[in-house]
Homo-oligomer: A and B are copies of this chain.
């Protein structure tokens, strides 16, 4: 039994990439069970948020097969009000003992609610970042080496690259 039983790791996973795997490699050594919270779950078909929550659940689920840990994967929709967000997360996931995030706002909100938060390190942010991968997809360049093979498969099954290219810049005007 490790010191902390269950940890919550929150991200948007647009898409899941090898940077997330690096963080998980650290986390799994510290806890018995991991909850993956998929943030901004209501967003999709947008240049910055191309994939639905369900598609991201599938990516994370495939990626987690490489880790030997009990897991829960939970979509979390935004609320219009930052001060309600911690309560929303808490009501949607099983009880947890620690939160992992590299996002300053997430850290601030959980700390003000007296929840233990660990700021995760960034692994090669230049290479492993969702926005970088979406840029590569948009430009028609190679991105598959930045995500696990199983995740690349999920993205290819739904023609994710084509989707990003088609919806880019189109949300403002009918």
B-contacting residues of A (Cβ < 8 Å)?
A: 10-12, 39-46, 52-55, 57-58, 61, 72-75, 77, 79-84, 86-88, 90-95, 101-109, 130-131, 163, 166-171, 173-174
Contacts and interface: CB of A to CB of B under 8 A. Distances in A.
A9 to B, nearest CB: 10
A54 B171 contact: no
A81 B54 CA distance: 13
Could you say how many copies of this chain the assembly holds? Answer: 6
A94 B45 contact: no
A54 to B, nearest CB: 5
A174 B92 contact: no
A82 B46 contact: yes
B171 A53 contact: no
B39 A82 contact: no
